[in-house]
Amino acid sequence: MTAAIPMIALVGNPNAGKSSLFNALTGARQKIANYPGVTVERKAGHASFADGRPMSLVDLPGSYSLTPASPDEAVTRDVVLGQQAGERRPDALIVVVDAANLDNHLCFALELIALGLPTVVALNMLDLAERDGLTLDPAIVSRELGVPVVPTVAVRKRGLTDLLAAVDGAILSHQTQATAQSAPPPSDVALHQRARAIARAATLSEAPVRRWTQRVDAVLLHPALGFLILLGLMFVMFQGVYAWSEAPIGWIEGGIAALQGAVDAALPDGFLRGLIIEGILGGVGSVIVFLPQILILFLFILLLEASGYMTRAAFLMDGVMAKVGLSGRGFIPLLSSFACAVPGIMATRAIPDAKDRLTTILIAPLMTCSARLPVYTLIIGAFIPNTTVGGSPVGLQGLVLFGLYLSGIVGALVVALVLRRTVAKGNAAGFMMEMPRYQWPRLRDVAIALWQRTWIFLRRAGTIIFVTTIALWLLLSYPKVPTGSAESQVDYSVAGRIASGLEVVVAPIGFNHDIALALIPAMAAREVAVSALATANAIEAGDDEEAMAQSLSERLQGRWSIATALAFLAWFVFAPQCISTIAITKRETNGWKWPLFMVGYLFALAYAAAGITYWTAVAFGLG
Amino acid sequence: MNPKLDSAKLGVAVRISRIDWDQMSHDEGRRLREFGLMEGIEVTPLHRGSLFSRDPLALAIGRMQVIIRARQAAMIEVAPTAP
Collapse the DSSP code of A20 into the 3-class scheme (helix H, G, I; strand E, B; otherwise coil) and give the result.
Answer: helix
Q: Give the per-residue pLDDT at A183.
A: 60
User: How many angstroms separate the CA of residue A194 from the nearest CA in chain B?
Assistant: 12
Collapse the DSSP code of A386 into the 3-class scheme (helix H, G, I; strand E, B; otherwise coil) and give the result.
Answer: coil
Largest distance between two CA atoms of chain A: 94
CATH tag, B5-80: 2.30.30.90
Describe the strand order of the beta sheet including B64-68 as a list of residue ranges. A433-435, B64-68, B53-61, B42-50, B14-19, B76-80
Q: Which of A51-60, A217-226, A364-373, A385-394 has the lowest mean pLDDT?
A: A385-394
Closest CA to B34 of A106, A104, A437, A66: A104
Closest CA to A321 of A296, A347, A300, A351: A351
C-alpha–C-alpha distance, residues A23 and A18, integer Å: 9
> CB neighbours of A27 closer than 8 A, spacing ≥ 6?
A45
Q: Give the per-residue pLDDT at A482.
A: 81
C-alpha–C-alpha distance, residues A257 and A236, integer Å: 31
The answer to whether the Cβ–Cβ distance between A434 and B54 falls below 8 Å is: no
Domain extents for chain A?
Answer: 7-210
C-alpha–C-alpha distance, residues B15 and B38, integer Å: 10
User: Which amino acid would we find at residue A257?
Assistant: A
Residues of chain B with Cβ-Cβ distance to A328 below 8 Å are 56, 67
Beta carbons of A26 and A57 less than 8 angstroms apart: yes
Interface test with A, best of B37, B44, B69, B71 (most A CBs within 10 A): B69
- Strands A134-136, A203-206: pairing is antiparallel
pLDDT band at A390 (very low <50, low <70, confident <90, very high): confident
Q: Has residue A1 got a pLDDT over 50? A: no
Q: Has residue B28 got a pLDDT over 70? A: yes
Collapse the DSSP code of A268 into the 3-class scheme (helix H, G, I; strand E, B; otherwise coil) and give the result.
Answer: coil
Collapse the DSSP code of B35 into the 3-class scheme (helix H, G, I; strand E, B; otherwise coil) and give the result.
Answer: coil
Q: Has residue A95 got a pLDDT over 90? A: yes
Provide mean pLDDT across the span A222-230. Answer: 90
Q: Has residue A108 got a pLDDT over 70? A: yes
Beta carbons of A512 and A560 less than 8 angstroms apart: yes
The answer to whether the Cβ–Cβ distance between B67 and A100 falls below 8 Å is: no
Residues of chain A with Cβ-Cβ distance to B27 below 8 Å are 69, 352
Residues of chain A with Cβ-Cβ distance to B66 below 8 Å are 432-435
> CB neighbours of B7 closer than 8 A, spacing ≥ 6?
none
Residues of chain A with Cβ-Cβ distance to B70 below 8 Å are none
Helices (H) and strands (E) in chain A, counts: 29, 10
Q: Give the per-residue pLDDT at A50.
A: 86
pLDDT tens for A406-449 read: 899 999 999 999 999 998 887 766 788 888 888 888 888 899 88
C-alpha–C-alpha distance, residues A368 and A341, integer Å: 9
Closest CA to B72 of B40, B45, B42: B45
What does the DSSP assignment read for A165-216? HHHHHHHHHHHHS-----PPPPPHHHHHHHHHHHHHHHEEEEPPPPSHHHHH
CATH 3.40.50.300 fits A7-210, yes or no: yes
How many angstroms separate the Cα of A400 from the Cα of each of A246, A403, A570?
21, 5, 11
For chain A, the residue count is: 623
Closest CA to A7 of A88, A119, A122, A114: A88
Peptide bond connecting B56 to the previous residue in cis, omega within 30 degrees of 0 = yes
Residue window 301-330, chain A: list those with CB within 8 Å of chain B. Answer: 311, 314-320, 322-323, 328
The three-point CA angle A8-A11-A15 to 5° equals 140
Which of A132, A217, A223 is nearest residue B49 as measured by Cβ atoms?
A: A223
Report phi then psi at B5, rounded to 5: -65, -30
pLDDT > 90: percent of chain A: 29
Q: Has residue A34 got a pLDDT over 80? A: no
Q: Give the per-residue pLDDT at A543.
A: 56
The answer to whether the Cβ–Cβ distance between B71 and A428 falls below 8 Å is: yes
Provide mean pLDDT across the span A497-520. Answer: 90
pLDDT tens for A330-353 read: 988 898 888 788 888 988 887 878
**Dihedral angle over CA of A258, A261, A262, A266, nearest 10:** 170
pLDDT tens for A240-291 read: 877 788 889 889 889 988 998 898 888 887 778 877 877 677 767 766 777 7
Beta carbons of A206 and A134 less than 8 angstroms apart: yes
Q: Give the per-residue pLDDT at A428.
A: 66
Cβ atoms < 10 Å from Cβ of A1: 9
Closest CA to A154 of A307, A323, A17, A246: A17
User: How many angstroms separate the CA of residue A407 from the nearest CA in chain B?
Assistant: 21
Residues of chain A with Cβ-Cβ distance to B56 below 8 Å are 315, 318-319, 328, 431
Residues of chain A with Cβ-Cβ distance to B63 below 8 Å are 100-101, 103, 132, 134, 209
Q: Has residue A207 got a pLDDT over 50? A: yes
Q: Has residue B12 got a pLDDT over 60? A: yes
How many angstroms separate the Cα of A505 from the Cα of each of A18, A144, A339, A501, A508?
54, 73, 31, 8, 7
Higher pLDDT, A541 or A98: A98
Burial class (CB in 10 A: 0-12, 13-18, 19+), A495: buried
Interface test with B, best of A105, A212, A413, A431 (most B CBs within 10 A): A431
Beta carbons of A524 and A581 less than 8 angstroms apart: no
Provide mean pLDDT across the span A117-137. Answer: 88
A426 touches chain B (CB under 8 A): no
| Cα nearest neighbour of B38 on chain A | A189
Q: Which residues of A59-82 are buried (b: 16+ CB within 10 A; e: fewer)?
A: bbbbbbbbbbbbbbbbbbbbbbee
Beta carbons of A44 and A93 less than 8 angstroms apart: no
Q: Give the per-residue pLDDT at A363.
A: 95
> Could you tell me which residues are beta bridge partners of residue A34?
A41
C-alpha–C-alpha distance, residues A225 and A517, integer Å: 49
Q: What share of chain A is helix, strand, coil (3-state, %, to 5)?
A: 65, 10, 25
User: Which amino acid would we find at residue A618?
Assistant: V
C-alpha–C-alpha distance, residues A339 and A296, integer Å: 9
Cβ atoms < 10 Å from Cβ of A182: 8
Q: Has residue A2 got a pLDDT over 50? A: no
Burial class (CB in 10 A: 0-12, 13-18, 19+), B15: middle
Which of B28, B34, B52 is nearest residue A430 as measured by Cβ atoms?
A: B28
Beta carbons of A326 and A356 less than 8 angstroms apart: yes
pLDDT tens for A542-585 read: 556 666 566 777 888 888 999 999 999 999 999 988 877 888 89
pLDDT tens for A278-331 read: 767 776 776 677 778 778 878 988 899 889 898 999 999 998 888 888 888 898
Provide mean pLDDT across the span A36-56. Answer: 83
Peptide bond connecting A184 to the previous residue in cis, omega within 30 degrees of 0 = no
As a whole number, the mean pLDDT across chain A is: 84
Provide mean pLDDT across the span A31-53. Answer: 80
Q: What share of chain B is helix, strand, coil (3-state, %, to 5)?
A: 25, 40, 35
- Strands A92-98, A7-12: pairing is parallel
Collapse the DSSP code of B53 into the 3-class scheme (helix H, G, I; strand E, B; otherwise coil) and give the result.
Answer: strand
Domain extents for chain B?
Answer: 5-80
Beta carbons of A119 and A24 less than 8 angstroms apart: no
pLDDT tens for A157-177 read: 888 899 999 999 998 887 665
Higher pLDDT, A387 or A55: A55
Cβ atoms < 10 Å from Cβ of A621: 8
> CB neighbours of A77 closer than 8 A, spacing ≥ 6?
A63, A66, A67, A68, A83
Q: Give the per-residue pLDDT at B14.
A: 94
Cα A103 to the chain's mean position, in Å?
Answer: 33
Element (DSSP H or E) covering residue A370:
none
> CB neighbours of A357 closer than 8 A, spacing ≥ 6?
A348, A349, A351
Element (DSSP H or E) covering residue B15:
strand B14-19
Report the complex ipTM.
0.94
CA atoms A362, A364, A366, A370: torsion sign: negative
